[in-house]
Amino acid sequence: MLQIDLRGRRALVAGVADDNGFGFAIAKCLAEAGASVCVATWPPALNIFLTLIERGKIDDARRLSDGALLQFERIYPLDAAFDTLSDAPAEIRENKRYRDVGDFSIEGLAARARADFGAQGLDIVIHSLANGPEVRRALVDTTRAGYMAAVAVSAYSMVSMMRHLGPLMRRGGSALSLTYMASERAVPFYGGGMSSAKAALESDTRMLAFEAGRRWGLRVNTISAGPLASRAASAIGVVDQLVTFCAANSPLTDELTSTEVGNVAAFLSCDLASGITGTTVYVDKGYHAMGIAVAGPVPRRED
């Protein structure tokens, strides 16, 4: 019988700060398949996340099918806006939420992983990172700084992670990111350059698949997930309406769950998907296949 078997594999999931989003669900599904899991967390959220774990506040979410709790082999600080620590301005490095965590850059993350696990210590890298400081602005009203920030954190960080972490991954490994259909279709209210960032991420997935495949023997894919009412997605302002609208207009009309995305991530990370790379995989109940709306009001935000 075919099984998703990740025993003996080590995963690093970047972008986990609570138990509510795709990153956490992916980490849990990888663990269910037998992988050991490390996560990387935005420094301002790091102490809160550690406290949630220490006090058992997310034990129910961490419960695996065998009754054990999901354990993180390492929890690293990461601000993916910075390739190196010197890239971070002094006011960031000296901020009380950053100054005691060590090197929180992408280069720093790679250095810690190498120190902890050696030169070939990773098998799976998950990029579950996105941020657009002006996401609530229409694209036409987005500033240059806001646009570039969205692309830097939501797309370029994947390029940087592959450059720094690719050499630490064993041949046959898998790298995976998360995208959204706004990369190819207009989604009102998903502004601030985030739609452009997701388009860049998908384009980069194809090029990185070629380069990482030839250089290190790695696969690179991205999952285009449907909307999920996570804490992070609440920044959009109409996410609950998007969830309802997509469910009403998709071939499968139940709402998407984070576990469904996590299961596909686990599949793409295992040997059963050894022939899949450079691909955008839709996990959205089929919404991407629809040409017109068939039910429900168009999402509307009151500003």
**Band of residue 294 on the pLDDT scale cut at 50, 70, 90:** confident
Q: Note the pLDDT of residue 225.
A: 96
Burial class (CB in 10 A: 0-12, 13-18, 19+), 12: buried
Query: By the 8 A CB rule, do 6 and 30 touch?
Result: yes
Element holding 249 (H helix, E strand): helix 239-249
- Beta-bridge partner residues of 176: 126, 221
pLDDT (mean) for 138-142: 96
Query: Among the options 76, 147, 190, 287, which is catalytic?
Result: 190
**Cα–chain-centroid distance for residue 201?**
11
Q: Which residue type sits at 87?
A: D
Q: What is the CATH number of domain 10-285?
A: 3.40.50.720
If you average pLDDT over residues 64-78, what whole number do you get?
Answer: 97
Token pair recorded at residue 63: 């419960």
Give the SS3 label for residue 134.
Answer: coil
- pLDDT for 167 beyond 70: yes
What is the per-residue pLDDT across 268-280, written as a single tens digit (0 to 9) for each? 999 999 999 999 9
The reported pLDDT for the residue numbered 1 is: 80
The single residue of 76, 98, 180, 287 carrying the catalytic annotation is 180
Q: How far apart are CA 161 and CA 173, in angstroms?
A: 14
Q: What is the pLDDT of residue 144?
A: 98
How are the residues of the chain apportioned to helix, strand and coil, as percentages rounded to the nearest 5? 45, 15, 40
- Please confirm, yes or no, whether 180 is among the known catalytic residues: yes
pLDDT 10s digits, 8-19: 999 999 999 999
Do 247 and 281 touch, CB atoms closer than 8 A?
Answer: no
What type of residue sits at position 64? L
| Cα→Cα distances 192→21, 60, 107, 154, 251, Å | 21, 35, 27, 12, 30
Give the domain ranges of the chain.
Answer: 10-285
Residue 293: pLDDT band (50, 70, 90) is confident
Asked whether the whole model's pTM tops 0.75, one would answer yes
The strand ranges marked E within 78-207 are 122-127, 169-179
Least confident interval from 17-26, 44-53, 227-236, 257-266: 227-236
Neighbours of 297 (CB within 10 A): 10
Torsion of CA 223, 228, 234, 236, to 10 degrees: 60
| Residue 193 to residue 154: CA distance in whole angstroms | 10
Give the amino acid at 188: P
Contact 79, 88 (CB under 8 A): yes
Which of 235 and 72 is assigned the larger pLDDT?
A: 72
Q: What's the CA dihedral at 102, 106, 108, 114 to 10 degrees?
A: 140
Average pLDDT over residues 72-78: 98
